[in-house]
Copies of this chain bind each other. A is one copy, B any other.
């Protein structure tokens, strides 16, 4: 964790029109342009269709680890800005086998996340979903996609990487897979306050990421740590068929995804067990009741990927108009 002076940062970011003229920020933006293009070229190349992500809606992703959603009045009904488009991806794969979108997301993270170096309240996920896929299928896509992008950026943006002083390594595939249960044990042995059945806190995840020299998967999260939409492993009750991809060198989480639960009654029960109301997820439950296509997918944060590629300490250097939790800026 770093220690950021909020007032200083607020002054700094309110003058973004100065920073934006600097060669370092220009280099980041050139690399980000190549990254966006690489992501799309890779996905379209293997048959994905790009769809337009929702911006607002009556319900959004509840599984956002303590962040707040933005609610507002939409013609007399309470609407939210998307915290992720996960529910909508499951609708789209009823039409097409492989879909992706550049999804705009808002999560009002708690003020203290200013010190993690990797939280923004406004960010974009490259979100994808594949019909009839297993979680292993989409992990393979994630691994190949990340490698494709890094290779292309090393080739096409060598001068920009040099401006940033970044020595970017080409990842070695296949990536190592670590089960959540084993990661927790390992971190407990190292003295971290990590509990089985819970999400791994940011500092501990950062340590795990720092102790790796290459990308690695974390798999098989406990049911109690994730949203209602991730599928339980029938051979392994209490464990989900889900995964995170972690960057090496302490950059933390890259990808989060899973095989989806698509059975109406199971999802309904998990929504109720999570203390939420069925009415809130009406269209989604109606869809599951009628029958929806099984799928798997993931999201990758574009700013975090940019941060890793560019080797930046702070995520607000990885986006032209950054919104940092608790900081008011353009």
Which residues does A use to contact B, with CB under 8 Å? Answer: 14-18, 20-21, 25-26, 29-30, 32-33, 36-37, 40, 44, 49-59, 70-72, 74-77, 81, 88, 91-92, 94-96, 102, 104-106, 108, 111, 121-122, 124, 283-284, 286-287, 290, 292, 302-303, 319-321, 323, 325-330
Q: Which residues of B contact A104 (CB under 8 A)?
A: 53, 55, 104
Q: Which residues of B contact A51 (CB under 8 A)?
A: 29, 32-33, 320
Tally of this chain's copies: 2
Query: Do B52 and A55 have beta carbons less than 8 Å apart?
Result: no
> In this complex, which of A17, A57, A321, A327 has the most chain B Cβ atoms within 10 angstroms of its Cβ?
A17
Query: Do A15 and B286 have beta carbons less than 8 Å apart?
Result: yes
Query: Do A106 and B55 have beta carbons less than 8 Å apart?
Result: yes
Choose among B26, B52, B96 the residue that contacts A95 (Cβ–Cβ < 8 A). Answer: B26
Q: Classify the interface of chain A: helix, strand, loop or mixed.
A: mixed
Query: Do B108 and A321 have beta carbons less than 8 Å apart?
Result: no
- Give Cα A55–Cα B302 distance, bound, in whole angstroms: 14
Residue of B nearest to A292 (CB): B17
Choose among B44, B75, B121 the residue that contacts A108 (Cβ–Cβ < 8 A). Answer: B75
Residue of B nearest to A13 (CB): B283
Query: Do A91 and B20 have beta carbons less than 8 Å apart?
Result: yes
